[in-house]
A and B are shown apart, each in its own frame.
Chain A
Amino acid sequence: MSSRLKNNLHRIKMRMPVLLSMVFASLTIGGYCQGKDLQVHGFAAQGIINVNGSNYVNDDGGLSAELTEIGLNASYILTPALRLAGQMVYLDGGNRYDDGVRVDYALLDWSAYNDENWQVNLYLGRYKNYHWLYSSTRDIPFARPSVVLPQSVYFDGFRDISVGADGGALKISHSSDTLGDFDFNMSTGSSSISKEQTQIILGKLALGKMKHTYDLQTSLYWQPLLSSWSFGLTLLDGVFEYQAAEQKDKFIDADITLQLVIANMLYEGERWEFSGELLQMRSIFDGLYFENFRQDSISQGLYVQSRYKVNTDFRLLARYERFYANKDDKNGHFLEETSQGLTPRYFGYQHDATFGFSYDFAENLRLQFEYHYIEGTARLTPVVLPNPAINDNENWQLWAMHLMYWF
């Protein structure tokens, strides 16, 4: 038996008590804590993932069990207008993001106004990003369409800074008897960025600290009356500050501004489902490499996705996605030229064709499988200083199998 396989089996074995505890906890508390005031829910998922030709999950390739997601949440209604809610999660995705336990959200929900057609809620604390089509459930295995989400929009390298923030959020919902349902959302806050997350973005040579200093995000969703279609638009403005370490840091102090526009649509029919998101992101770097350095570029991404329900338990998935790191350099030639050949041109784009299926063995037990064929490496980490020594293939593939349980 190879040492890698042994390590993976050991990893799964170590997590079995936690996974079994989740099942036990759900059976024990499920009956008691699903009342009108207190609700407790959770999930546990373990999978295997194999990447051929990149360091997306691990640096040495091969089968990996670094596909673990465990979560437990509670919601308690204090008064008709006030509610407390929180969720703890444990995540392990290998190189995709920082692994460990974290507070996913912990908030006070104030129902400021409520009548037959209007709902106004204010959330204070750590809230989830609920502006994009799948952003609020990107860590919830059974509530997202695939094991690996489209990296053009749901880039794992930016996961920790885009999954939520500490601050305040506002949600205004209006239901019109003629026009349908409208949701307006606005949030502002900042997220803490770990050293690992800093190095995921900038590279191992970054020894300083990155701060998320400002974030304002708004979105508007509309579902016409009795329609299977819904449409959304999101705007984001975020500012980050890099403070270089006093010694040995290859970077200098920098301000990084990200401005994002995402448009999405969703069709939910009885058997067919179609969805897609279109992204444009402006990135402005001031400093970082040397004094007065400024880089202002626009990246673009798009995916279209279809799911087909063969029956209530079995679903098929197909998706195609394109991403360009710089819309004015879609084939990456300029990137290769300006880096004097150090960064191959295929770091300028990433296109992904995905096929998969999921099967529900029981009401809350699902197996999901998917295969990705990927062209380009623009959505591999580190982002700022890529690693062409490991990622020396333009075309790479991955498959993943994920078993999930929730209550």
Chain B
Amino acid sequence: MCLLTFLGTVSFTAKAVDVIVHSTVSESNITKSQLRRIYTMRQTQWSNGHHIIVFVLPKQHPLHQRFSKERLQIFPYQLERIWNKLTYSGLGVAPVVKSTPEALINAVMKTPGAIGYTETVVDKGAVNVIKIKE
């Protein structure tokens, strides 16, 4: 419940953060809970059984901070802890980090099963924007 409090800090001038997937991903919408599960690595396959490849920006990147707070409702440091625990204890794998938003879009475009986020989608044919339901 406390995680909801930072919703009030969202800037009205900022563009919305869109969630994008590779064009072969069949889902056109997912729930907010499902998005959280994917980014906390608790769901690793799409409904058709294909592996989910998660892409993110560096932890200090403003867009990553916004995505984490607005879309996932998780503080960025919590995400980092979950990923570090998986990575350095052998329990699982962390998302693949891309250094710029352009590189992230490019990676999602080229990788079957990929999911990522962006502020602006220039070419809607290259990636799919999926709707996030409550």
Could you tell me which A residues sit within 8 Å of B by CB distance?
34-36, 39, 41, 43, 71, 73, 75, 77, 80, 83, 85-87, 105, 107, 109, 111, 114-117, 119, 121, 123, 127-128, 130, 136-137, 140, 142-143, 171, 173, 175, 177, 181, 225-228, 268-270, 309, 312, 363
Judging by beta carbons under 8 Å apart, are A80 and B87 in contact? no
Q: Which of B10-18, B93-101, B121-129 contacts A (4 or more CB under 8 A)?
A: B93-101
**Residue from B75, B88, B96 within 8 A of A71 (CB atoms):** B88
Q: Which residue of B lies closest to A134 (CB)?
A: B85
Least CB distance from B7 to A in Å reads 11
Judging by beta carbons under 8 Å apart, are A136 and B78 in contact? no
Judging by beta carbons under 8 Å apart, are A128 and B89 in contact? yes
CA distance in complex: A39, B88 (Å): 11
Residue contacts A-B, CB under 8 angstroms, 30 given? A35-B96, A36-B111, A39-B87, A43-B88, A71-B88, A80-B50, A80-B51, A86-B90, A109-B90, A114-B43, A114-B44, A115-B43, A116-B34, A116-B43, A128-B89, A128-B90, A130-B89, A136-B88, A136-B89, A137-B84, A140-B84, A175-B37, A225-B33, A227-B3, A228-B1, A228-B2, A269-B2, A270-B5, A363-B59, A363-B60
- Name which of B34, B59, B93 has the most chain A CB atoms within 10 A of its CB: B93
Least CB distance from B130 to A in Å reads 14
Judging by beta carbons under 8 Å apart, are B84 and A173 in contact? no
Mask of B90-121 contacts with A, CB within 8 angstroms, 1/0? 11111011000000000000010000000000
Least CB distance from A94 to B in Å reads 23
Given contacts A73-B90, A86-B90, A226-B73, contact A175 B1 (CB under 8 A): no
Judging by beta carbons under 8 Å apart, are A119 and B97 in contact? no
CA distance in complex: A269, B78 (Å): 9
CA distance in complex: A228, B6 (Å): 12
Consensus secondary structure, chain A interface: strand
CA distance in complex: A363, B1 (Å): 29
Least CB distance from A363 to B in Å reads 6
CA distance in complex: A225, B94 (Å): 22
Q: 8 Å CB contacts to A: which residues of B9-67?
A: 31, 33-34, 37, 42-45, 47, 49-51, 53, 58-60
**Residue from A35, A36, A177 within 8 A of B31 (CB atoms):** A177
CA distance in complex: A36, B98 (Å): 12
Least CB distance from A298 to B in Å reads 30
Least CB distance from A134 to B in Å reads 9
Consensus secondary structure, chain B interface: mixed
Q: Which residue of A lies closest to B81 (CB)?
A: A143
Q: Which residue of A lies closest to B33 (CB)?
A: A177
Judging by beta carbons under 8 Å apart, are A228 and B45 in contact? no
Judging by beta carbons under 8 Å apart, are B88 and A143 in contact? yes
Q: How many A-B residue pairs have CB under 8 A?
A: 111
Judging by beta carbons under 8 Å apart, are A140 and B94 in contact? no
CA distance in complex: A173, B82 (Å): 14
Q: Which residue of A lies closest to B93 (CB)?
A: A75
CA distance in complex: A89, B43 (Å): 30
A87: chain B residues within 8 A (beta carbon): 88, 90
A228: chain B residues within 8 A (beta carbon): 1-3
A80: chain B residues within 8 A (beta carbon): 45, 49-51
CA distance in complex: A381, B43 (Å): 43
Known A80-B51, A109-B90, A140-B89; 8 more pairs at CB < 8 Å: A43-B88, A75-B90, A116-B47, A130-B85, A136-B85, A270-B5, A363-B59, A363-B60
Given contacts A43-B88, A143-B84, A227-B2, contact A83 B44 (CB under 8 A): no
Q: Which residue of A lies closest to B31 (CB)?
A: A177
CA distance in complex: A155, B118 (Å): 45
Q: Which residue of A lies closest to B5 (CB)?
A: A270
A269: chain B residues within 8 A (beta carbon): 2
**Residue from B6, B58, B77 within 8 A of A363 (CB atoms):** B58
Judging by beta carbons under 8 Å apart, are B60 and A75 in contact? no
B92: chain A residues within 8 A (beta carbon): 109, 121
Least CB distance from B57 to A in Å reads 11
B94: chain A residues within 8 A (beta carbon): 39
A121: chain B residues within 8 A (beta carbon): 91-92
Q: Which residue of B lies closest to A106 (CB)?
A: B90
CA distance in complex: A77, B94 (Å): 12
CA distance in complex: A107, B89 (Å): 10
B47: chain A residues within 8 A (beta carbon): 116
A75: chain B residues within 8 A (beta carbon): 87, 90, 93
Given contacts A226-B4, A268-B75, A270-B6, contact A181 B84 (CB under 8 A): no
